[in-house]
Homo-oligomer: A and B are copies of this chain.
Amino acid sequence: MAQRVGTYTLKFTERPSIIGHAAVVGKTEGEGPLREEFDRIFEDDTLGQKSFEKAESALQMEAVTLALQKAKKTPQEIHYILGGDLLNQCIGTSFALRDLGIPFLGLYGACSTMALSLGLAGILTDSKAADFVVAETSSHFCSAERQFRLPLEYGGQRTPTAQRTATAAGASVLSAVHVPNAPSLEAVTFGSIQDLGIKDANNMGAAMAPAAAATIANFLKDTNTTPADYDLILTGDLGKVGTELLKALLLKDHHIDIKNKHKDCGLLLYDCEAQDVHAGGSGCGCAASVFNSYIMQKLLKGELSRVLLVATGALMSPTSSLQGESIPGIAHAVLISKPDVIE
């Protein structure tokens, strides 16, 4: 049963385990530094579907299917599946999961969805409300461009602060029964909305950095720990600009230095210079695919023991931006650890 620690943090006393994980990506992501880590790379970003939206659903379905296979679970054994995506009305998710027959809890956390779904899946399993839960999400460069910016055919120029929405999906299967040697969930800190007035929809990193700073500071305060207690503080998709701002905000407002402990999934997923992705990767699938491949593998191999995954989301829409609104940010943090190392 989850125990409240400090003001914002929940510790999982039963330590639900991640017994399956999968990450699938598109062509560009498959040419990046993590190319060896993914379960599957689709050379054709349409995945043979008639629209980019349907391609995103197929991508997500593939990640869920592979994660279930690796967990040796059938859909019938899964009590709940938790997911969402960036598309209007989250159709990437609802059409992906339509035929699974698993009770579905739809989420909207923009690019924070992997941490949001993992954290809630942790509560469901830790409290024994469920035996097995899938947490998952996706994004697709082409469906996101059409949704949030301009159709690809327009050939719009991108600003240096812009990030590339990852064509990627990731899924984790959680077990309420603690499994030795499987990475497990140790704690979660859900964030509140932060908005410092950033209005530039081509600079999501800046809009989301304050939320990441607030959630990391709350987590460290609640648990009475410092960055030295973790192997890695892994943000979702702050990119180059957001990463610099996060470090500056944590130092200035909280006297916390994460310099040697921090990495960002958006900067791990691509070689920004060589792949011309400007400030890095973004999208729900960015954190989901990096966590459910590279990071999970490192946890399983013992190369990492304690990882604080802090996925951040920008809670705007094209409509709110056109109406002159600023961009509210949110960040949720989940602490994942390889239990036999720290117990």
Contacts and interface: CB of A to CB of B under 8 A. Distances in A.
Contacts of A313: 106
Given A89-B316, A315-B106, A319-B88, A2 B98 contact: no
Given A1-B127, A104-B190, A190-B105, A91 B317 contact: yes
B319 A129 contact: no
A8 interface: yes
A91 B320 contact: yes
A124 B124 CA distance: 9
Interface stretch (A157-165, A249-257, A322-330): A322-330
Nearest to A101: B192
A282 to B, nearest CB: 14
A100 to B, nearest CB: 7
B104 A191 contact: yes
A2 B84 contact: no
B89 A193 contact: no
B91 A105 contact: no
Given A104-B330, A123-B129, 15 more contacts: A4-B129, A4-B130, A53-B323, A88-B318, A94-B330, A98-B193, A103-B191, A104-B192, A105-B107, A105-B190, A106-B107, A106-B110, A106-B330, A107-B108, A108-B108
